[in-house]
Amino acid sequence: MKRSKLTHSLLSLAITLVLSPLVLSQSVQARTTAITGGKVVIGDGSDPVDGGTVIIRDGNVIAAGANIAVPAGADVVDATGKWVTPGIFAGFSRLGLSEVDAVSGTNDTSASGSNFNAGLDIAPAIDPFRTAFAVNRAAGVTRAVVAPDAGGNMFAGQGAIADLGSDANPVTKASAFQFVEFGEGGARRAGGSRSASHLTFRAMLREAQDYSVGKVAFDDQLLRAEDAKALLPVLRGQTQLLVHVEGANDILRVMELKRDFPALKLVLVGASEGWRVADKIAAAGVPVIASALNDLPEAFEKLGATQSNIGRMKNAGVKVAIGMIDDRDAHQLRYSVQYAGNLVSLGNVPRASGLSWNDAFAAITSGPAEIMGMGAQLGSLKPGRKADVVIWDGDPLELSSEAETVYIDGVRQPLDNRQARLRERYRTPTEGALPKAYDR
């Protein structure tokens, strides 16, 4: 049995030098890694297991939990005193779409000048070399739902599932969903009224249907062919439709779209007033990716916003996860753990509804994976899942804790980033023998 320390200095150096992914996969994935002795969190809502073991091979989790034998020849990583969990899955984000938000050339979140809408595909815009990848990876974020932002049309386009690995291939699944704005944002884009957004939605789906049957009368007033092609799998229920909606009435009216389009696979995004109609959301079986801590009436569609929203929906039987909805969504996915921790603390506030620790952690790991239909591949340490594993120096939801070691697809990740380099340069702010510019 080979032993290796947590500080795999040679390996991380090799990764830092950005060897080709092929070389990495040969050198790393052929091995078996056993992370032993830590408090293991599976991420599915079950209780943490003290002194557990996680076995990784070929980029996948082979086993995790108590009483698991370490295979002969495995690299053993001692995590005694640490927490071992699935990586954080940002339930909704704009990861990799923006380097500096206010520098337009670096910001690909929305294509407001484009004539296309639903056909827009965010995948090629997800740039793994943007700083937010490295910064959030260092904080234990390993996967993300990446959505385009809507430009001039209520349909924003096709979103993706991405990983934060230090390689050139960030997209786990392209065309994973279609994203559409309803509520105030949808109404504004459709012409100034919710009547327009609902009609536009219906008309666009019908045009897509016409396109699919080759109708000569296909009227491309609303849709170009590429947009129609992207809407067909939505219409047929092959691709999920993520709908940004906040207010109680808007939620109900959006769920009614299924009367006319029964195959739609809806996911509500935002849903600040979801708690007001939680029983109906639960009855409809529509999952929700919600903001964790919205509690202000920042718009009239959020008058009832409360931090208890997620807890109340969960109690009503809604499948719910935490997302960064229009909330520092390109840069601060690392807030996910803090948000989850705040929902735990709500449990101590009279009349509030929070989440248990186990459910809160699931809301930022298996929850998003399951809602996106990828729970069998991602989001937990159950056997067969992609080995996105983080070793933390303490409770991952606690503010003082740090991600010490991060694996994505079983590959140990470099955790260096631009912020860490600036920190080291200015550890002592005054100049030494040469200007700071020489200090590297």
Which residues contact another protein (rule: CB under 8 A)?
Answer: 94, 98-103, 107, 109-110, 131-132, 135, 149, 248, 273, 276, 293-300, 302-308, 326-332, 334, 338, 341-342, 344-346, 348-352, 397-402, 419-420, 422-423, 426-427, 429-430
First-to-last alpha carbon distance for the chain, in angstroms, is 38
Closer Cβ to another protein, 62 or 123, answer by number: 123
**Residue 420 C-beta: closest distance to another protein, Å:** 8
**Residue 238 C-beta: closest distance to another protein, Å:** 28
**Residue 335 C-beta: closest distance to another protein, Å:** 9
What angle (nearest 5°) sits at the alpha carbon of residue 48, between those of residues 43 and 50? 140
Sign of the alpha-carbon torsion through 166, 167, 172, 176: positive
Closer Cβ to another protein, 239 or 309, answer by number: 309
Closer Cβ to another protein, 24 or 125, answer by number: 125
Closer Cβ to another protein, 56 or 364, answer by number: 364
Q: Where are the beta strands (DSSP E) in 298-388?
A: 320-322
**Residue 137 C-beta: closest distance to another protein, Å:** 15
Q: CA torsion 33→52→84→321, rounded to 10°? A: 120
Closer Cβ to another protein, 427 or 440, answer by number: 427
Closer Cβ to another protein, 220 or 424, answer by number: 424
**Nearest Cα residue to 233 out of 259, 263, 197:** 263
**Residue 191 C-beta: closest distance to another protein, Å:** 18
364, 336 Cβ separation under 8 angstroms: yes
Element (H, E) at 260: helix 257-260
Q: CA torsion 277→279→284→286, rounded to 10°? A: 70
**Per residue, what are the HEC states of 104-143?**
HHHECCECCCCCCCCCCECHHHCCCCCHHHHHHHCCCEEE
Sign of the alpha-carbon torsion through 184, 190, 196, 202: negative
Closer Cβ to another protein, 337 or 389, answer by number: 337
**Residue 349 C-beta: closest distance to another protein, Å:** 5
Separation in Å, CA 60 to CA 56, 156, 173, 346, 366: 6, 33, 17, 35, 15
Phi, psi of 133 (to 5 degrees): -60, -55
Distance (Å, whole) CA 270 – CA 294: 9
**Residue 304 C-beta: closest distance to another protein, Å:** 4
Closer Cβ to another protein, 331 or 386, answer by number: 331
Closer Cβ to another protein, 203 or 252, answer by number: 252
Residue 214 DSSP SS3: coil
**Residue 59 C-beta: closest distance to another protein, Å:** 29
Axis crossing angle, helix 248-255 with helix 194-212, rounded to the nearest 10: 20
Closer Cβ to another protein, 197 or 308, answer by number: 308
Name the one residue in this structure whose structure tokens are 């947590």. Answer: 6
**Residue 326 C-beta: closest distance to another protein, Å:** 4
**Residue 428 C-beta: closest distance to another protein, Å:** 9
**Nearest Cα residue to 343 out of 335, 334, 351, 352:** 352
Closer Cβ to another protein, 231 or 243, answer by number: 243
Element (H, E) at 288: strand 288-290
Residue 26 DSSP SS3: helix
**Residue 321 C-beta: closest distance to another protein, Å:** 18
Pairing of strands 288-290, 171-181: unpaired
